[in-house]
Structure 1
Amino acid sequence: MRPHTEWEPGKSSSDGWACYCRPCRAERNREGRFRREYGLRPDELKDLVVRQGGVCVICLSARPQHVDHDHGTGRVRVVLCFSCNAALGQFKDRPGAMRRAAAYVEGNAWKPTLVAPGVYQLPS
């Protein structure tokens, strides 16, 4: 039995307390969101994480908690850590931008050449 400090007030219940404690309610909300948005049951989500070795497939170190999906098709790809999922979102899933960013970080600075007003040619 959990102490009342872990429960929230429930407006519709006869005793004035919610049906679920805060941790259980958070887990139910998380599971419901994954089911609504991605069509994933809790066991399917756990299976995805197990198949990728329990780590984020990009950084290979952090615990994966965020479902990555193709925004065009809605197809689930993998489960990523917060930072890697946010990074992909910032790059708007554009592989060219990600490759240029990787080249930049590796020290391969590049400068586009202006060939016409507003038209740039990227180095090969």
Structure 2
Amino acid sequence: MNGEIKSKRCSRCKRHLPRGAFAGNRSPSDGLQAYCRECAAEYYRQRQEARGRTARVEVLVTEGHKRCPQCELAKPHSEWERNRTSSDGWASYCRVCRAERNRVSYFKRKYGLSPVELKALVAEQAGVCCICLSALPEHVDHCHETGRVRGVLCFSCNAALGQFKDRPDVMRRAAAYVEGNAWKPTLVAPGVYQLPS
């Protein structure tokens, strides 16, 4: 468009500013917001304060860095994941904070446990796995039928319960086998086995 206007007047501060000082808006004929970016930010801040909320303060960071709102540190882009849908092309939170947020969300969604409740559960177990009593508990164990949380186990013990399909009879036979007790079934009829008592 050859006759495109190079500047626009902000309807709030009444200054004539270049088009780049205004955010886009498809509704008006010129395709720009009525307020300049500075006035729009100030207006937003005032509206938030009127509602009893606090508006996030913009913090300037160096080129190639982004500030994480959770840990409040400016980190290089190498510590962020890409996100095409965001305005700057990077995720909202750094990798470390995002992983922590996902972990908290997972435990809340799957088991109904908040971080405080999970820490309390581990503390009740004296900070060790309920089964082996030596390894660090990192995996929440639950009943697959009822969904009830039973405790927090180490990876090996949690995997073992999964391999035994949470069947106590199989676990008892496995314990007897490890202890050296004879447990081999006796063939009584074709396809029918009798287990030792």
Scaled to the shorter chain, the TM-score interval is over 0.9
SS of 2:91's equivalent in the other structure is: strand
- How many Å separate the matches in 2 of 1:119 and 1:27? 52
Corresponding residue of 1:29: 102
CA drift of 1:3 comes to 2.9
**Where in structure 1 do 4 or more consecutive aligned residues deviate above 3 Å?**
none
- The structure whose RCO (Cα within 8 Å, separation 6+) is larger is 1
Q: Distance in 1 between matches of 2:163 and 2:76?
A: 42
Q: What are the equivalent positions in structure 2 for 1:7-46 lying under 5 Å apart?
A: 7-46=80-119
SS of match in other structure, 1:109: coil
Q: Does 1:56 align with 2:129?
A: yes
Alignment RMSD (CA, Å): 1.1
Distance in 2, matches of 1:49 and 1:11, equals 39
The match for 1:122 is 195
> Cα distance, 1:27 vs. partner?
1.2
Residue 29 of structure 1 aligns to a residue in which SS?
A: helix
Count how many residue pairs are aligned between Structure 1 and Structure 2.
124
Which runs of structure 2 are paired with 1:63-74 in the superposition (5 Å)? Answer: 63-74=136-147
Q: Distance in 2 between matches of 1:104 and 1:61?
A: 22
**Which structure would you say has the larger Rg?**
2
Report whether the alignment pairs 1:104 with 2:139.
no
